[in-house]
């Protein structure tokens, strides 16, 4: 396992050591001790989530606030996604910046997203299976959503707007400027 610091403070790309032979591959996808030694994050994951989506599905940008904030460790089991993390910690030197990375079943990369970040992804392949660990339980009342096309963030989702498929809920997300008081 190798850790790569992203352009966002405390947000890391994790490169797993993959062992391949004629039978397939093997890798250790998570090890608490190694993770804590390499990141310095004392994160205890309590919930695993998985979703399956088709090309163009954009999920996000989501986050939970206050005592229900969540750190996440995300990866792709099948297909390819563009994964996006946005630093919304008011006193962070990278506040309002985003980091995007393509996560695929082939590259086995993972992204660690600390508490105080919004998160979302768009499916680039025909289908994707997305898996993530959370260090806090979901709490609907603490969830807020940021619009994927927020002009203050200016995220390049790599697909045309008419290719994107959003849930009804995500079509009603807020612009960052309108919810800064809730962060």
What confidence tens digit (pLDDT) does each residue in 67-113 have? 999 999 999 999 999 999 999 999 999 999 999 999 999 999 999 99
Q: What's the pLDDT band for 182 if we cut at 50, 70, 90? A: confident
- Among the listed residues 55, 121, 132, 118, the one whose alpha carbon sits nearest the alpha carbon of residue 88: 118
Tens of pLDDT, residue by residue over 136-177, are 999 999 999 999 999 999 999 999 999 999 999 999 999 999
Please, where are the H alpha helices in the chain? 32-39, 176-179
> Would you call 132 a catalytic residue per the annotation?
yes
The rounded Cα 118 to chain-centroid distance in angstroms is: 8
Domain count, the chain: 1
Which one of 98, 112, 132, 148 is the catalytic residue?
132
Q: Which domain holds residue 30?
A: 2-182
Q: Residue 107: how many CB atoms within 10 A of its CB?
A: 16
Cα distances from 154 to residues 50, 73, 96, 175, in angstroms, run: 27, 24, 10, 12
- Give the dihedral sign, CA 91/92/93/97: negative
Which one of 12, 62, 112, 148 is the catalytic residue?
62
CATH number at residue 154: 2.60.120.10
- Among the listed residues 139, 153, 140, 147, the one whose alpha carbon sits nearest the alpha carbon of residue 172: 147
> Would you call 62 a catalytic residue per the annotation?
yes
Q: Residue 20: how many CB atoms within 10 A of its CB?
A: 9
What pTM does this model have?
0.95
């Amino acid at each position: 396992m190798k850790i790569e610091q992203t352009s966002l403070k405390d947000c890391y790309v994790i490169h797993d050591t993959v062992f391949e032979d004629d039978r397939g591959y093997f890798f250790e996808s998570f090890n608490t001790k190694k993770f804590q030694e390499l990141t310095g994050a004392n994160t205890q994951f309590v919930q695993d989530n998985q979703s399956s989506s088709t090309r163009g599905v954009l999920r996000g940008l989501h986050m939970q606030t206050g005592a229900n904030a969540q750190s996440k460790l995300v990866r792709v089991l099948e297909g390819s996604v563009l994964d996006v993390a946005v630093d919304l910690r008011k006193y962070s030197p990278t506040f309002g910046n985003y980091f995007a990375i393509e996560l695929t079943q082939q590259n086995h990369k993972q992204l660690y997203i600390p508490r105080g970040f919004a998160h979302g992804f768009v499916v680039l392949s025909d289908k994707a299976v997305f898996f993530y660990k959370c260090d806090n339980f979901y709490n609907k009342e603490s969830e807020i959503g940021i619009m994927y096309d927020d002009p203050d963030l200016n995220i390049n989702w790599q697909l045309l707007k008419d290719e994107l498929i959003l849930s009804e809920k995500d079509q009603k997300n807020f612009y960052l400027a309108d919810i800064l008081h809730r962060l």
